[in-house]
Amino acid sequence: MVVYAGQGDARRSMALLWRSGEPNEARPGPKPGLSVDAIVDAAIEVADSEGMAALSMRRVGERLGRTGMALYTYVPGKGELIDLMYDRALAELPAEYDLSGGWRSALTAWAEQTLAFYLRHPWTLQVSQARPVLGPNEFAMLESLVAILRGTGLGPRRVRGMVALLFDFVRGAATTVAESRQVPSATGVSDEEWWQARASLLDEVAPGFADRFPLVRWVESDDSEPGGDEPYLEHRVSETFSVGLAVLLDGIEAAAARAAQNGNGGQAAPPST
């Protein structure tokens, strides 16, 4: 399931994200044995290695030699912790891309880097996108993508559309790979074995299946290059990724060309559908 951000005191969680309002030194009471950073790090370790489903306050506390409840001194709740984890992880992404080769090559690099990021931290795919975390690194990520798309000469409305499209695309591909990787680890069965078992079950349970869905059969027929040592589904996804990226780049180029023709940044020109 999608994990939602904390609804609690919005001011406090924003302050945590932007590290503002740090406590002054020399306060009464025992020295803090932990820190927000240490907690976020431990939580990311848990999520990276065992997945979002295994992330619990107790689990994180345990890794720090504390109980789960000890974390509530530093962080308002689990939702806010996830926001912090997410924004921290995003810091890994490049702040800018080489634009000297034009926007197409920069966008390709962006897509590859971003895909790799999601695969390094698959749990980030489960952080809600609609109510953005609004942390510094999320803005930086957006800034760097918009910097590339500015090269197309399109206006803000068009660029917003492409930002969404690009993120949906990369996140979708990453989600497929990330979830497929859980099959072997969760079931002890290789990806390919899982698919073959399912396919033979299909024949058994749904006779005449192939005749009912001839186009499914056609589209699954294999006209691709062999996948080397990549697992079955990951090979499929990497093909899909390059095909999809090519479509996106061509579509963006078409929009940019139309806008250049009209000389208006694509703002007033209606799509030629």
Partner DNA sequence: GCTGATATCTTATGCCGTAAGGAGTTGTCG
Partner DNA sequence: CGACAACTCCTTACGGCATAAGATATCAGC
Contacts to DNA by CB under 7 A? 6, 23, 26-34, 54-59, 61, 65-70, 72-74, 77-79
Nearest distance from C-beta of residue 25 to a second copy, angstroms: 21
CB-nearer residue toward a second copy: 50 or 220: 220
CB-nearer residue toward DNA: 77 or 155: 77
Q: Which does 216 bind (CB under 5 to 8 A by kind): a second copy, DNA, none?
A: a second copy
CA nearest neighbour of 144 among 158, 163, 171: 163
Nearest distance from C-beta of residue 28 to a second copy, angstroms: 26
CA separation, residue 133 to residues 10, 84, 115, 176, 195 (Å) = 11, 8, 20, 23, 37
Nearest distance from C-beta of residue 41 to a second copy, angstroms: 21
Q: Which does 120 bind (CB under 5 to 8 A by kind): DNA, a second copy, none?
A: none
Nearest distance from C-beta of residue 272 to a second copy, angstroms: 8
CB-nearer residue toward a second copy: 33 or 203: 203
Nearest distance from C-beta of residue 58 to a second copy, angstroms: 17
Nearest distance from C-beta of residue 127 to a second copy, angstroms: 10
* Helix ranges (DSSP H) in the chain: 10-17, 36-50, 57-63, 78-90, 103-120, 136-149, 156-187, 191-205, 209-212, 214-220, 232-262
CB-nearer residue toward a second copy: 64 or 244: 244
Residue whose structure tokens are 């072997």 = 184
Sequence letter at residue 156: P
Q: Which does 158 bind (CB under 5 to 8 A by kind): DNA, a second copy, none?
A: a second copy
CB 128 within 8 A of CB 4: yes
Q: How far is 52 from 46, CA to CA, in rounded Å?
A: 8
Q: Which does 256 bind (CB under 5 to 8 A by kind): DNA, a second copy, none?
A: none
CB-nearer residue toward DNA: 65 or 214: 65
CA nearest neighbour of 135 among 79, 76, 85, 60: 85
Cβ partners under 8 Å of residue 3, min gap 6: 52, 79, 82, 126, 127, 128
Q: What is the DSSP letter of 127?
A: B
CB-nearer residue toward a second copy: 120 or 217: 217
